Structure formats: structure tokens, C-alpha cells
Amino acid sequence: MSKRRDSDGIHLTVTGELSIYSVHDLKQELLGALQEAPEVEVHLGGVTELDTAGLQVLYLAKREAVAHGGTLRLVEHSDATREVLDLLHLSPYFGDPVLIPGVAEEAAR
């Protein structure tokens, strides 16, 4: 995971698995980022697996952001994250556009 701060807030880039075996560090990073800045963007393009533990951490972070007047955005969804969010109909909860690579480029033509 990498972290970058700019005038728009904090950007976290997550790679690999977001599973019960790896989400402890993500939880700490997300909650810490939300305390540092009101705007946090989580880049999920490198996520290869998302299980319910990973989803719970993302859900918790979104809830905490909203409760404290901040914003948590999920961007650059990988196939793994899109699949889980679609299966559980959670895209509307997170409120971020979920773009399918290739489709956006086709629509722009």
C-alpha cells in the first residue's frame, strides 16, 4: 500500500489481497488517513481479491468518513472489487462511479 498527500487530500493505493489475512494494516491506514484529512481516495486497481473482511473495512471507513463530515472515495476498481460490489449491490452505498475498463474508452469514441 502506498500513501500520497496533495491539495485534494490523501490518496491510498491498495494492491494485492484485501482479505482476512491482510486487512488489519488497511484498517489502521484508512482510519488514520481519515483523521489526517477530510478527503480520502482509495485506489483499488491493484486489488486481486476482496473478501468480506476487506469489504467490512471499506464499509467501516466509509461510515466513519460520513459520520465525521469527510469523504471516502473508492476509485480505479479492479475486476475483483467490481465483482464483489456488484454481487452484493453495494456500489450505491459507496456512491462512487464504477467504471469498466474499455467501456469508458468505447463510449468516448
Rounded to two decimals, the pTM is 0.85
CA angle 43, 48, 53 (to 5 degrees): 85
The domains found in the chain, sorted by start residue, are: 2-108 (3.30.750.24)
* pLDDT per residue of the chain (109 residues) written in tens, 0 to 9: 899 999 989 999 999 999 999 999 999 999 999 999 999 999 999 999 999 999 999 999 999 999 999 999 999 999 999 999 999 989 888 887 765 555 444 544 5
Contact 38, 26 (CB under 8 A): no
Q: What is the pLDDT of residues 33-44, one digit of tens each?
A: 999 999 999 999
Tally Cβ neighbours within 10 Å of residue 14. Answer: 25
For residue 54, which of 86, 30, 89, 79 has the smallest C-alpha distance? Answer: 30
For residue 20, the model assigns a pLDDT of: 96
